[in-house]
Structure 1
């Protein structure tokens, strides 16, 4: 037995600063065999067990190589793709089996062992994409994300999953047609329970074997990049599941989780919280973020449930005893420090990464740099905008005028963070109904309202995200055990909605005013924010180039208005360049087919106005195309 452990690796790992710890922990091909290294400070004996020794651990015992509990060993008689676990004998008690926390591949559930990796190295072909990222400014670029769950987006006729490689021919042409810039995959790290969707993880370094091998996933991401589609994955550093093969009491004692059960337990999810203050846990999690970007060329991470990490009493009832930090507050200072460190390290290695916080709290400066007092993410999901807008849209249009502030309030805080506007899976599951089914009115009004919802998301400042199925009007809420209702494309209203969605997204990609100044106050100007009686909003989306500016009119009622006066800031002829009520989208075709010359009479605090037709339950967009006649 030869040992390949390095004193510097050991030191940095135990300091919480080894950001490539996956390169020496776990199982690695070395010459003609494998090197195994695992952290188990409370163990008295650690052995490798698998088919190669009849699951006895015989002749495959590891040596302790650090006083803080690293164990390591090299063996040449273990073949590739062998199932293995660590057999850990604690200082007090019987031996038990654990999967490898750093395993790069795991058995297909319900089997739970880790697999020794192959000796093959994947050859990437996305050099152009990776090179272009060096000049990429995400803040001034369009970002339009299609969030999906690989297991229920589409299945084969027998109900089985498409593999990563098969999805290349199924998914990539579809999302290219849809005109999105990125896909976001619900967690794809290995997980035992299908209905957890990957949010309760056992193998942080192992892409789930449900859809194939790690090389298969690399091929899928490679192909996405070659077709100009970015890939974001949901990442879950806040908690992990309690399955016996996983991280829970890994060496017989709390190790990855807090020792204090009050801090460790995530009762609402039945999971355990990572001990963010422990150096080895920091090395494990930060290395994992780096791993996905370095080894799989992932473009960004959507970090799940940030509020559950930053607040000690996240899921404690009001009448329960509250946990406090050392300063007497309820923030988890260790988790906050960890998130800052995470983002600093990620951007040191990958300056153009997307680090997106799914955060439901009012903690300030989530998307501000750490040297400005922030957590260091570069984007934050705007949960307030999402909740307000969906609440508003569910009202019958007759009553919307009493809730007009739900539409406008988001602009009061829009520039406090770099926001993503999410219409995510969380809003269409567990009895919440699909987006289409949330909309009030008869069938025509439901589809018009959904077109309006998507249209308002696109014209509102912020990057965009929709969940699979919304784009063609899935009637039934998301069911993780069933594929999307693709048969709906046989019905004209659904086909027309898909045509609308892809056209709307194409429009967004080619209008700099809709994305360039998302995070700058000079990119937005109200024309009329106060017309609650008619439930109409009018505003400008702007750039530094007046010819690119857009005049946006949103009508949240089914009323049609002809000759409606709209104040405009510039003298010139205005042309309608987009209308969600067009007949080809399933609308009533109340459009503006001719140029609108300005009338030099003050209106809406502007020196001139135009008179337009405002379609029902619709978004219409105008642009000045030439100077008007005096």
Structure 2
């Protein structure tokens, strides 16, 4: 799309350059109104007396804190008529000493206690009374919640370790290179049939991530959630790191160790909705359904069985913006992947909707308060940590979402290219690979807005959830159980391994500005993810990663892992994802060939299932080229049909029109890819 510069003026003296394609021209008044709404919201929240980042410090005021040696606890509950701290320090009964008093007129409550009245490790809740009822609640800003092994309910916990964690690498800053993201879940990262821990992940899994060549670790399910099988997407305590994986200090040690290894660490941030649990969440916290959430049907997410935030409410903005800052300040995370952004952006949550025209982005269905919140959250994050990255999980393609705020966008650094894994699944389900459309494939892999950065990926955890299949399982299916031994020739396995490598490399090489892999997919982890539940007799068999498969020299999984490692090394050495492009140089549907240039490298893909091509002419700038990566190499489980380090020279040819052509004659084995580097 042709890009054009527009000047959008906010107020009298605030022009913002907005680089957009010409199709946005009719919607400039809507864009201007939205940006004005962002600035007005910021002014309303800060009243011009502080920065937005300073405003986002509710976690330092609310909750349980030490002040001058004493304890102070504060909570926001405007509908409450009385609140008491109850716990094992007062036999879970209301006592006058632990009663909160209302302060001010904003619905804030407070109690101060002598320092010796509470001790680290004690459990507590709030007993909140409201007109017509009462209930036990976990404080909204609690930093520690633990689960009773018998009742499965959570309690807040006083947490004041004798030896607070001392950061070893407090000044770590994310390296200025494109993110190569390893997405991981702490609990199921272990081989054992159990819930893994932060400490085990640091010792056993982190070295694998480093060795694999990724530079960014993305952690799922960090915010506390009652149901383990929700993958952390039904959050109950937004400021508490999940205690089922260990202590806050152990999570900090994991982040610190990653920083020592020069890995940035980002986390899934769930601000798109909240668990509807009341005793262990913030739903009906003060007796009203509309304290944090919308009132009526708009406050319920029927598809997700959860509650929807009211992003137009200042107190809710205070809560969520403070949550952004908290994870940066307290745990030194280096950014966030915002989950469920599409659901936030539209009143119908984008469910079952095909976004076919620009009118879909600027109509009455858009939740503009959510857009305002997302812009403000990005401002807070990038003010506190200018090097932090934010990634939007949005499938709709909302323009400007990943455009910098100074250019009139909403400030995300990247958006996930969610259409790419969907396209791969569609191909694998519906079209035999001998008919894959090369031109359409290239279009889908490169179809993105020029003014926004994207993270490409072939598959994520969504493709591995029970009921679906990973790419490798779709390719090989049941033969994975019996024919993955290197001494057991099998055509289905050969096909699957070859296509798995091609799919992942072509996705990486065409990705916009970053790449993501879900743990285990790099070596073709078999089967699916299924968390313990009644339907599987509460088994952990499928809620783990079988690393021994990757480590066994007699199994083919190691070939995929080694190829993925070579991919990451290629991307790092040549700054592949920091480079513009790609630029297509070859498309031949009859022969299922696709080629392009990027970062000074030439990528040639042969998807043909049964035909190799000898002396195939590929037009290239004149010079010498060396083979630097070959998916058909023996160390990657291929057939070794090309000599390692092969050198190619271009041949000049005068065309009938008098033009000069230069081409290299290449041997292109079936279902393989070659990467060439121009040497001279």
Q: TM-score, normalised by structure 1?
A: 0.88
* Secondary structure class of the residue paired with 2:584: strand
- Correspondence for 1:509: 572
1:339-388 CA distance string (max 9 Å, x none) = 11111111111111110001011211211023433221010000122222
Cα distance change, pair 317–184 in 1 and its aligned pair in 2 (3 A) = closer
Is 1:465 paired with 2:500?
no
Choose from 45, 48, 54 the match for 2:82.
Answer: 45
CA change 1:515–1:259 in 2 (3 A) is closer
The reply to whether residue 277 of structure 1 matches residue 277 of structure 2 is: no
Residues 179/417 of structure 1: CA separation in 2 closer, same or farther (3 Å cut): same
- For 1:220 and 1:448, how far apart are their aligned partners in 2? 35
Q: Which residue of 2 aligns with 1:72?
A: 110
The whole-number CA distance in structure 2 between the counterparts of 1:602 and 1:203 is 70
1:511, distance to aligned residue in structure 2 (A)? 1.4
2: CA distance, partners of 1:10 / 1:344? 16
Specify the alignment match of 2:618 in structure 1: 566
- 2:172 is paired with a residue whose SS is helix
Map of 1:398 onto structure 2: 434
Question: How far 1:20 sits from its partner (Å)?
Answer: 1.0
Structure 2: gaps of 5 or more residues? 1-44, 354-358, 477-490, 532-539
Q: Which residue of 1 aligns with 2:141?
A: 102
**Structure 1 233/354 Cα, relative in aligned 2: closer, same or farther at 3 Å?**
same
**Structure 2 counterparts to residues 19-30 of structure 1, below 5 A:** 19-30=56-67
Aligned equivalents of 2:187, 2:557: Cα separation in 1: 23
- Over 3 Å counting, the alpha-carbon distance change for 1:187 and 1:606 in structure 2 is farther
Alignment match of 1:525 (pick from 571, 583, 586):
583
Q: How many residues align?
A: 587
User: Greater shift after overlay, 431-440 or 578-587?
Assistant: 431-440
SS of 2:85 mapped into structure 1: strand
Instruction: Indicate the residue corresponding to 1:610 in structure 2.
Output: 664
Query: What is the CA–CA distance in structure 2 between the aligned matches of 1:95 and 1:16, rounded to whole Å?
Result: 35
Distance in 1 between the 2:363 and 2:471 partners?
A: 42
C-alpha distance 315-383 of structure 1, shift in aligned 2 (>3 A): closer
What is the match of residue 439 of structure 1?
A: 475
- The alpha-carbon distance between structure 1 residues 532 and 80, as it changes in their structure 2 partners (threshold 3 A), is same
Counterpart CA distance in 2 for 1:317 and 1:499 is 39
Give the distance between the partners of 2:456 and 2:297, measured in 1 at CA. 34
Q: Superposed, which structure 2 residues align to 1:567-606 within 5 Å?
A: 567-569=619-621, 571-593=622-644, 594-601=646-653
CA distance in 2, matches of 1:469, 1:378: 26
- Using structure 2 for the length normalisation, give the TM-score: 0.82
Cα offset, 1:492, TM superposition: 2.5
Post-superposition Cα deviations, 1:578-627, rounded to whole Å, max 9, x if no partner, equal 01110111011122553211111269x9830000111222221001112x
Worse overlay, 348-357 or 404-413: 404-413
Partner of 1:54: 91
Aligned position for 2:483: none
The change in CA–CA distance for 1:577 and 1:42 in structure 2 (over 3 A counts) is same
Aligned equivalents of 1:502, 1:169: Cα separation in 2: 20
> What is the match of residue 527 of structure 2?
476
Instruction: State the distance in 2 between where 1:448 and 1:483 align.
Output: 26
Q: Which of these residues, 144, 155, 171, is aligned with residue 205 of structure 2?
A: 171
Distance 1:61 1:592, change over 3 A: same
Q: 1:387 to 1:407 in 2, by over 3 A?
A: farther
CA separation in 1, counterparts of 2:526 and 2:381?
Answer: 40
Asked if structure 2 preserves the Cα contact closer than 8 Å seen for 1:16 and 1:281, the reply is: no
Could you tell me how far 1:414 is from its partner in structure 2?
A: 5.0
Secondary structure class of the residue paired with 1:74: strand
Cα deviation digits, residues 94-121 of structure 1 (max 9, x gap) = 3211101111101135231111120553
Alignment map for 1:304-315 (pairs within 5 Å): 304-314=339-349
Ranges in structure 1 where 5+ consecutive residues have no aligned partner: 1-7, 319-323, 543-548
Check conservation: 1:10, 1:66, Cα contact below 8 A. Answer: no
- Secondary structure at 2:153's aligned position in 1? coil
The aligned residue for residue 328 of structure 2 is 293
Task: Please name the residue that 2:12 is paired with.
Answer: none
Secondary structure of the residue aligned to 1:442 is: helix
Q: Distance in 1 between matches of 2:598 and 2:653?
A: 23
Conserved? CA contact 1:29–1:35, under 8 Å:
yes
